[in-house]
Amino acid sequence: MRWRFLDSGTLDGAEQMALDAGLMDRARLTGEAVLRVYDWQRPTLSFGRHESVRGRFLPEMLARENVGAVRRPTGGRVLMHHREVTYSVTAPAPSHERLRDSYRRINAILMTAIARLGVHVGEAAAAAARRPGGAACFAEPSEGELVVDGRKLVGSAQLREHGALLQHGSILIDDDQPRIAALAVGALVPAQPAATLHGALGRAPAYTEVRNALAAALAELEEEPAALGAQEAAAFGAPHRERFASAEWTWRR
């Protein structure tokens, strides 16, 4: 399987989610995988696809705080995108491939990249599942997520649909996840303090440093990736932009 690498840089939440959905379409069409790295124009809450958030967060309150809101194509729980680096992998998903196997293959890239930065991470063991809506994403690690001393450093979620997969997640530089509780109307399960690259390294690495580590890890473990052009990616994302920008989708439940 051929891999591509894309740095999408800073865009709004709807555009970033549309690109992830569009690159799933591209994976079905081309049979190629893409490792994408990106950032957010402003602090943004992203909600899991099936998460109930109406009444728990108020659009007008988020607007006053200059916090964006978007609903992901993947499942999972709410998280705050700020002072972090987001990655996504889109790839063909053969019917015979197990979810656990694809997670581990992607985790190998992430772990190698984070080790290049100087941080040792492990995979979390199984924990009791929480219903979406009862907690934030970083309240506790789920099985297979990447942790430092038992605390989640990378929150990830995967969607498999029509022969393609999307896995994306947040690599924390600093911990802004407690802000979610301050923005919520109702109570959330208290989050454990998250692991961060700043805490593990004693300094906050720049976005470009994390991006370069991910690109180098991909080249080491898979193959030397060719760059994917931003215009090609945008063309695949364009049909999905309206859905992710709509309040009907974001606040549908």
Sketch out the chain's domains with CATH numbers: 3-247 (3.30.930.10)
Quick one: pLDDT at residue 1?
86
Question: Tokens in use for 104?
Answer: 């581990």
Active centre residues (catalytic): 137
The residues, ordered by sequence, that sit 6+ positions from 149 with a Cβ below 8 Å of its Cβ are 195
Average pLDDT estimate for 165-169: 96
Q: Which of the four pLDDT bands, split at 50, 70 and 90, describes residue 214?
A: very high
CB within 8 Å of 208: residues ≥ 6 apart: none
pLDDT of 135 above 60: no
Strand partners, 164: 92, 161
Predicted local confidence at residue 128, as pLDDT: 45
For residues 72 and 49, the answer to whether their CB atoms sit within 8 Å is: yes
Write out pLDDT tens, residues 179-211.
999 999 977 765 678 999 999 999 999 999 999
Mean pLDDT of 151-167: 94
- Across the range 128-154, mean pLDDT stands at 68
Which residue in the block uniquely carries the two structure tokens 């301050």? 182
Confidence band for 145, pLDDT divided at 50, 70 and 90? confident
Helix (H, G, I), strand (E, B) or coil at 54: strand
Determine the average pLDDT of the residues in 132-141: 54
Which band of pLDDT confidence, cut at 50, 70 and 90, is reported for residue 98? confident
CA–CA separation, 5 and 12 (whole Å):
20
Average pLDDT (102-130) is 86
Pairing of strands 79-81, 122-123: unpaired
pLDDT of the residue at 125: 79
Mean pLDDT throughout 105-132?
A: 83
Q: Are 152 and 194 in contact (CB under 8 A)?
A: yes
The model's pTM is 0.91
pLDDT at 35 over 50: yes
Give me the pLDDT at residue 132, please: 47
